[in-house]
Amino acid sequence: MRRWSCLPLAPLWGLVGRRGVSGDDRSADSSAFLSDDEALHGELASMLETEGHAAPLDIMQQHPLEVAAMGSSTSTIFLEKLARPPARFDLLTNSFVYKWQTKAALARKVSGPMREWAAELKYRTGVHMELEPTFPERISEDAAAGDGSEGGAYESADDVDITVYLFGSERGIFNCHKLMEAAIQQDPVYVRLGVFRRVPSSKEVEWLMLRRINREMRPPDIPPISLKLPGKWTLLYERYKEAAVRTLWEETGITVDPNHVFPTAQLYQTSPTYYWRVPVRYFVAEVPHDVRVEGPQVVPTQYMRNWDGRLLRQSPDPIDRAWAQLADPITGCAWMKAPMIDELQKPLRGGMYMATRYTPPPYSNLQEVVGLGDGDQEMRGTETEASHPPA
């Protein structure tokens, strides 16, 4: 039974779903991960340069690792130097290698479901990161069924044992260790900022949607193309609302006043099968009906744009057909009403998609405007076959 938990900021919801039959079948080919990390560097460069997020190397003491407090009482991360890297990482042998034995609760904070934070650490320090389950047999369906796995199945995603490898220079790994400590304290998350506009002469509202092309090296539970509301993930030393406002601009070209951005919910999951998933924090904001949508501002090739409408209209996928009807091929964005979004997302993420994630808090005075209702009683105990993350 896959357990989902939902901690909205107003009101309290619960979300429970059946665990799908899936696992972490990501390739251990280091060359694929190296290539995929490079694909993120252009995006990270634009983010960091635009927002002025400089690597805080000035606050780091420049000491060799041997005398650094890598295992001190104030350190959460304890690194062990290896004489040589594991053979499967044969492309990374011209580096020093350190190992960190930890749990998924910490490891996912420095990696990310699609290596977002691992790529940021590499961009800042030059250190490449790999991680893998220490005991993969304890995550299998056989272990969950109690069929003989030594040590038994894990109770929660946070408990999954993870081995993290760091490859790089001594100084680079020292700096990376400091940033990893900061990332763990910050508790990085995915963010989503749902922006809506009022429909003239109607009480209805429309929500801005887009379709992001996901990375080739992705977990098995993430589709090749995601239908989503704007938002990405936090950077180091960035607050959740700051990240939501920043990524809204990066994906749509829209800028909103942070004072008019309201938190709505936080979703997280506990199934060991999906140990890489991170919490998602949701926000909502209203924009004028005539707001100018310019489309993706950072790496636009990672979004679905300039498609052939005839092909989409002939697609068996209802998302493609709806996209051909409503979306702007130039910007790659579409305005949709909540019932349609719920219907399109239901096969992957269960019912009441919008109410679960984007019901505004009472103090925002937006609940009656968006008309999503009170998801408290409706969502508590809902079961779903969805095996995808709460994006």
Please report, in tens digits, the pLDDT of each residue of the chain (391 residues total). Answer: 444 555 544 443 333 333 333 334 444 444 454 555 565 666 666 666 554 444 444 333 334 444 344 555 567 899 999 988 887 777 666 789 999 999 999 999 999 999 999 999 999 999 999 999 999 999 976 665 665 456 678 999 999 999 999 999 999 999 999 999 999 998 999 999 999 999 998 889 999 999 999 988 888 888 999 999 999 999 999 999 999 999 999 999 999 999 999 999 999 988 999 999 999 999 999 999 999 999 999 999 999 999 998 999 999 999 999 999 999 999 999 999 999 999 999 998 888 999 999 999 999 999 999 999 765 533 433 333 334 456 6
CATH class of the domain at 80-140+155-185 = alpha beta
Structure tokens at 79: 């690194």
Per-residue pLDDT, 81: 95
Structure tokens at 29: 């080919």
Answer yes or no: are the C-beta atoms of 208 and 229 closer than 8 Å: yes
Per-residue pLDDT, 374: 62
Q: What are the backbone dihedrals phi and psi of residue 161, each rounded to the nearest 5 degrees, phi first?
A: -75, 130
Give the integer Cα–Cα distance in Å for 58 and 308: 50
Angle 170-186/116-125 helices, nearest 10 degrees? 140
Answer yes or no: are the C-beta atoms of 359 and 370 closer than 8 Å: yes
Give the integer Cα–Cα distance in Å for 129 and 135: 19
Residue with tokens 């796995």: 149
Structure tokens at 166: 């760091």
Per-residue pLDDT, 149: 54
Give the integer Cα–Cα distance in Å for 195 and 318: 23
> In terms of Cα–Cα distance, which of 209, 195, 335 is closest to 262?
195
Structure tokens at 233: 């993930």
Cα of 298 vs its chain's centroid, Å: 17
Answer yes or no: are the C-beta atoms of 233 and 323 closer than 8 Å: no
Query: CB neighbours of 309 closer than 8 A, spacing ≥ 6?
Result: 324, 329
Query: CB neighbours of 367 closer than 8 A, spacing ≥ 6?
Result: 359, 360, 361
Alpha helix locations (H) across the chain? 30-51, 104-111, 116-125, 141-144, 170-186, 240-252, 309-313, 318-326, 338-349, 353-358, 367-370, 375-379
Q: What is the residue type of 19?
A: R
Fold classification of 190-370 is Nucleoside Triphosphate Pyrophosphohydrolase (3.90.79)
45 vs 266, 282, 354, CA distance in Å? 28, 25, 32
Q: What is the residue type of 141?
A: E
Per-residue pLDDT, 216: 82
Q: Positive or negative, the Cα torsion across 139, 145, 151, 153?
A: positive
Give the integer Cα–Cα distance in Å for 218 and 36: 10
Answer yes or no: are the C-beta atoms of 163 and 99 closer than 8 Å: yes
Q: What is the DSSP string of 111-142?
A: H-TTSHHHHHHHHHH--EEEEEESSGGGTSHH
Per-residue pLDDT, 43: 62
Query: For the chain, what are the domain ranges?
Result: 80-140+155-185, 190-370
